[in-house]
Amino acid sequence: MGEQASAAPEKAAKGVKGTRGAGGAGASAGKGAGGSGDAGASGGAAGSGGKRAAAKKTGAAKPVKKAVAAKPAKKAVVAKPAKKAAAAKSAKSVEKADAAKPAKPVKKTAAKPESRTALVRRARRINRELAEVYPYAHPELDFENPFQLLVATVLSAQTTDLRVNQTTPALFAKYPTPEDLAVANPEDVEELIRPTGFFRAKTKSIMGLAAALRDEFGGEVPGRLEDLVKLPGVGRKTAFVVMGNAFGRPGITVDTHFGRLVRRWKWTEETDPDKVEKAVGELFPKSDWTMLSHRVIFHGRRICHARKPACGACPIAPLCPAYGEGETDPEKAKKLLKYEKGGFPGQRLKPPQSYLDAGGIPAPPLGATAPPATGE
């Protein structure tokens, strides 16, 4: 402790040698005067004054160095947080802006449903587009008269038109009229129509309607809806098929393809066939009903499939609210096309000439090998 105390005045005295000498001289003079206190006091004052001056100079020098060293440090410390804070605020504002942007379109889309007028216009435009794509659209059941069409339509329940077309030639060859079918052996009929499935129930229906035609309508198929729906196995769908294609009377055929597509297109949300028929019928004039049915069913079988719609090859994609549910790549979608659109045989063994002129291929008979695909 004594060394540290004596070292401090020595360091302070180095820079002020002259002052220290004056103080020392005054102190010795006071002592030599033998009691002259003023001289001793002045000498002591001078000595203490020199020490204070040296202390002030030394003390002033040290804070200056600290201040000089502290200034840049303070600037650096203050500046960096400011930049970080500004960057943080900017990042937060960007995040808020980005989070806010997607919400606007969603609200607008949800808040603006399609008006009735817009729906009618879009539905009719789809019909016009389909008319250009399928100018050869037709019922895909082979028939030569109303009786054959009626029986074929009943048999088409829960099976394909192709299978029905491959089955009916033998049936009609053996039972060409309602009178012939009404008196047939049920077991023989069952064996002939077995490929269509549910052959026992279907045998009962077609033999029952044949007997009703014979007994109530003189062996002729009636052309009125109220008469047709009274026949065994005949509902509104079958009745409209017969009326529209055998008698030229307007009717909407609501099969599985038709119902699926009109719901995808948001023409209606109904699932009951009768309600679907009513809702769609209100969007179109009666004169369009029969051909509309053919076009929609053609499109459902060829492009707008139930599981893998070929969205990328669909001609009405811009008008379809369900676009994107299926394959959107054009090349991949093209491989999903069926029947004449994919270069494959159709469903009729004897299709209309307009279908053949458009590149359609007849279906092969039952048990025959189908012709190879020709491409589009």
Which residue has tokens 């074929």? 152
Which CA distances in Å does 9 have to 18, 37, 42, 58, 221?
A: 15, 25, 20, 11, 136
Tokens of 190: 């069952």
Task: Report how far Cα 166 is from the mean position of its chain's Cα atoms.
Answer: 40
Beta bridge partners of 361: 345
CB-CB neighbours of 30 under 10 Å = 19
Residue 268 — φ and ψ, nearest 5°? -160, 160
Q: Are 294 and 311 in contact (CB under 8 A)?
A: no
Name the token pair of 373. Answer: 């695909």
Beta bridge mates, 262 = none
- In Å, the largest CA–CA distance within the chain is 169
Q: Give CA 355 to chain center in angstroms.
A: 35
At 222, give phi and psi (nearest 5°): -70, 155
Q: How far apart, in Å, are the Cα atoms of 346 and each of 73, 74, 301, 338, 366?
A: 87, 87, 10, 9, 14
Question: What is the Cα 111 distance to its own chain's centre?
Answer: 18
What letter does residue 219 receive in the DSSP assignment? T
Q: Which residues are catalytic?
A: 237, 255
Give whole-number Cα distances, 16 to 23, 25, 358, in Å. 11, 15, 119
Element (H, E) at 143: none
Instruction: Name every residue whose Cβ is closer than 8 Å to that of residue 26 and which is 6 or more positions away in sequence.
Output: 39, 40, 42, 43, 44, 45, 46, 47
Note the helical H segments in 175-288: 178-182, 186-193, 199-216, 225-228, 236-246, 256-264, 273-281
